[in-house]
């Protein structure tokens, strides 16, 4: 996985031709952003697959991630729910492969914790998919440490995709990032800029501007660098149709914040010094 991963969740809503999408994918690859994140419910897989079909040689230069387990209107559910049964996991992967125009996924994640998840059944589905060469690696998304540990005892999980930003600090204290570091499983981070709300927060925005001037980069790069500074070595998702935004995220991988600057941003969020 590249340290910066292209989050494709909004791709279906971008007003782009297949040629424009292909150009964006190629530009991301040139920036070293080689991992592309999807889910069966994002509706991004089909437009991505159409673009990839026009340049199938690019498949060897990228890692494709998808997720399954949320069973809602897309599947015609009467009541939106989670489904981590073997049949649904396998069927979802088959659908993703068709839409993405590829023979395999590099990584499959269970999208959300399912209170009815049978860990043995999920592990069996993963085993079937791996044996068929349809999925190479497996992980979880939005799992707490206990949920991750349960499934990881049955089958090796390589990552947990979680929300983390200066405005979502829970993973720092609930054991999620400690577990990632203990198991040496690099977490994937979604909503790293809190949907843009970071720049609306007066104290955070002011500090990001100050640090950006000192490091000679943009405030957005500082925000990404703050996440990348964590010793669990996160993979950070960015989702944008603008090449400039992708370039900004890619630069962040080469910026290392000083320890005091990292804690200064933490203080700007919490409003207090460490005890």
Residue 270, pLDDT score: 95
pLDDT value of residue 241? 85
pLDDT of residue 75: 78
The residue extents of the domains of the chain are: 4-158
Judging by DSSP bridges, how do beta strands 70-71 and 81-82 pair with one another?
antiparallel
Cα–Cα distances in angstroms (integers) from residue 191 to residues 33, 136, 195, in the given order: 17, 25, 6
Phi and psi at 13, nearest 5°, equal -90, -5
Burial (0-12, 13-18, 19+ Cβ within 10 Å), 247: middle
**Fold of the domain spanning 4-158:** TIM Barrel (3.20.20)
Average of per-residue pLDDT across 63-80: 89
| 42 is a catalytic site residue | yes
Q: Token pair for residue 237?
A: 């998702």
When pLDDT is averaged across residues 85-100 and rounded to a whole number, the result is 97
pLDDT tens for each residue of 160-178:
999 999 999 999 999 999 9
What is the structure's pLDDT at 73? 73
Distance CA 81, CA 73 (A): 10
Q: Do residues 140 and 161 lie in contact, with contact meaning Cβ atoms separated by under 8 Å? A: yes
Out of 42, 71, 82, 224, which one is annotated catalytic?
A: 42
pLDDT digits (tens, 9 = 90+) for 196-212: 999 999 999 999 999 99
Per-residue model confidence (pLDDT) at position 105: 98
């Amino acid at each position: 996985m590249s340290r910066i991963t292209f989050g494709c969740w909004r791709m279906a809503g971008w007003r782009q031709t297949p040629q424009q999408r292909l150009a964006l994918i190629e530009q991301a690859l040139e920036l070293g952003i080689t991992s592309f994140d999807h889910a069966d419910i994002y509706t991004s897989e089909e437009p991505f697959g159409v673009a990839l079909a026009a340049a199938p040689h690019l498949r060897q230069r990228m890692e494709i991630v998808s997720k399954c387990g949320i069973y809602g209107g897309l599947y015609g559910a009467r009541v939106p729910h989670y489904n981590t049964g073997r049949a649904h996991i396998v069927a979802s992967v088959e659908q993703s492969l068709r839409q993405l125009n590829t023979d395999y996924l590099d990584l499959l994640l269970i999208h959300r914790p399912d209170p009815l998840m049978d860990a043995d059944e999920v592990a069996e589905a993963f085993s079937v998919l791996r044996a068929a060469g349809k999925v190479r690696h497996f992980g979880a998304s939005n799992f707490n440490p206990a949920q991750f540990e349960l499934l990881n005892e049955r089958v090796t999980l390589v990552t947990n995709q979680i929300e983390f930003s200066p405005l979502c600090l829970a993973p720092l204290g609930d054991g999620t990032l400690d577990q990632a570091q203990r198991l040496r499983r690099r977490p994937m981070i979604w909503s790293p800029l809190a949907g843009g709300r970071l720049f609306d927060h007066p104290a955070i925005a002011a500090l990001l501007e100050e640090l950006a001037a000192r490091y000679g980069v943009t405030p957005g790069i500082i925000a990404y660098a703050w996440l990348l500074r964590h010793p669990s070595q996160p993979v950070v998702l960015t989702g944008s149709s603008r090449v400039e935004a992708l370039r900004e995220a890619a630069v962040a991988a080469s910026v290392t914040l000083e320890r005091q600057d990292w804690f200064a941003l933490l203080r700007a969020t919490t409003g207090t010094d460490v005890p």
